[in-house]
Structure 1
């Protein structure tokens, strides 16, 4: 697998998305339904009202019987990508990538995968002024629109208030919501939004993104930490605080995962120091379950 650092170094989001995703497109077991798709499945006898364009005229010439070529088409749904673009996503890992850098790569690769599956894709970027939204579409121009929006996204401020997000929770059928966030919250506002989406009937895949240096607390010596969303600072000795930090963090992660699953979310923790393959695999598995 290409590392996130190498993908980011390409400085070409469409290329990075394709490179990250293509290895997952081979050998997958798609959910299929019979229809007039591209991949041949079987013949069946012609019935009045059938589309004559699907008749196999060569077989008819040989047998004097009329058969239609039935094929398999991939079942599809709407994949709604949500990106947390608040200031905490500017946190930088030891590999040089911010959480936002990683999230851009991940969502671009997920969009590429979804379009290869035949799904319509939407993107919503959540930031203090509310949201930036690319409506759902399955046309050939959707990926360039999504990539452009992701490339232009910057992280700033805090999570938008609920009143600015009401249009997100409109009921939609066969929708898989994929949220990428570090879950840096004041009062569970991110999970409250996802709960409202879940209540509309959407399936929710929550990809909890943390930096490797956060998860392993790789800092050394006396340091000043700054809260990227509030500006508050705290001074501490990292070597002295490491054991307590890791213990409290693990307790928080266990409670976060448990609470998310109680709310009906499919929750997975991601590490910005790791390749994208775990998240892509989780997405494909969730998509098949949703279908």
Structure 2
């Protein structure tokens, strides 16, 4: 059991990371120019979106007579979708996510945290509710929630590999799972099945280090899990390359299939790729889940 001084040092170290992570996430969110959320979906809101021609099935009460008087056609005035929704995040905090192959690259966990928090900032500023699945942090709005999310994202998980969390998800909402998905695939399948049963749709984002994608090892090598519970030694690492890449491809295909059959979306992001590009894709993917 940790002593009080040890607990205090750990708490202070965790707290010291809060402002830098929040600042980086704020900066990243600000690079994505979304204007007033830009949902661009018709709905029951108040903001004007566009005019469109009257279609079969439209009520005559929907016609904008002022606009229609300017032409021979009849037009409907559409408004943007303004109904706030809830989003649940699960961000893998296991030991596996702390891996990085180079001091010039951030660990997978760092990229996962900054992307999740930047996305949360965009959603919350747009009036939506964001929370962390499987925690005592349910979806809420406001700047205070951004701070709470930041603090919770920095908390370390347990075990070598993470298990997606789908408990207590609000029915018919959206979700984001961020992980390297190197652990038990059955756990991912079970979590997605639970989410789908509740009408929850969302996005799986796999984050990998470029070394995990390329497997450039040769000669004698010792492979050890980040939690030091698994170890494998070989004298011919290059002989393992084809088998490893085949299994990685099979894992990705399985994740893609699970996402497809449950109505989710899937993508892989490498830590040496532009983070802005990943955030923009994430935001558009989450908007597509409405």
What TM-score do the two structures reach when normalised by structure 2?
Answer: 0.72
Question: What's the offset of the Cα at 1:226?
Answer: 1.0
Equivalent residue for 2:159, pick from 154, 157, 160:
157
Question: What's the offset of the Cα at 1:146?
Answer: 0.9
In the alignment, what sits opposite 1:247?
A: 246
In the alignment, what sits opposite 1:98?
A: 107
Q: Which residues of structure 2 form unaligned runs of 5+?
A: 1-16, 51-78
Q: Residue 267 of structure 1 aligns to a residue in which SS? A: strand
In the alignment, what sits opposite 1:53?
A: none
Equivalent residue for 1:176, pick from 171, 174, 177:
174
1:196 matched to 2:198? The reply is no
Question: What's the offset of the Cα at 1:103?
Answer: 1.0
* CA pair 276-219 structure 1, distance change in 2 beyond 3 A: same
Equivalent residue for 2:233, pick from 214, 219, 235:
235
Inter-partner Cα distance in structure 1 for 2:177 and 2:86: 14
Q: Residue 204 of structure 2 aligns to a residue in which SS? A: strand
Report Cα offsets for 1:12-31 as digits up to 9, x if no partner.
Answer: 11111111122223366323
**The structure with more strand, counted as a fraction of residues:** 1
Question: What's the offset of the Cα at 1:178?
Answer: 0.5
Q: Over aligned residue pairs, what C-alpha RMSD do you find?
A: 3.2
On the 8 A contact 1:78/1:120 being kept in 2, the answer is yes
Q: Which residues of structure 1 form unaligned runs of 5+?
A: 1-8, 43-70, 125-130
Inter-partner Cα distance in structure 2 for 1:148 and 1:10: 6
Q: Which moved more, 1:180-189 or 1:25-34?
A: 25-34
Inter-partner Cα distance in structure 2 for 1:242 and 1:271: 19
Report Cα offsets for 1:237-271 as digits up to 9, x if no partner.
Answer: 33343344223322332233223322332111121
1:122 matched to 2:131? The reply is yes
How many residues are treated as equivalent by the alignment? 243
What TM-score do the two structures reach when normalised by structure 1?
Answer: 0.71
Report Cα offsets for 1:150-197 as digits up to 9, x if no partner.
Answer: 23x1243156889xx67x245424x11001011122351123112201
In the alignment, what sits opposite 1:213?
A: 211
* CA pair 233-143 structure 1, distance change in 2 beyond 3 A: same
Q: Residue 132 of structure 1 aligns to a residue in which SS? A: coil
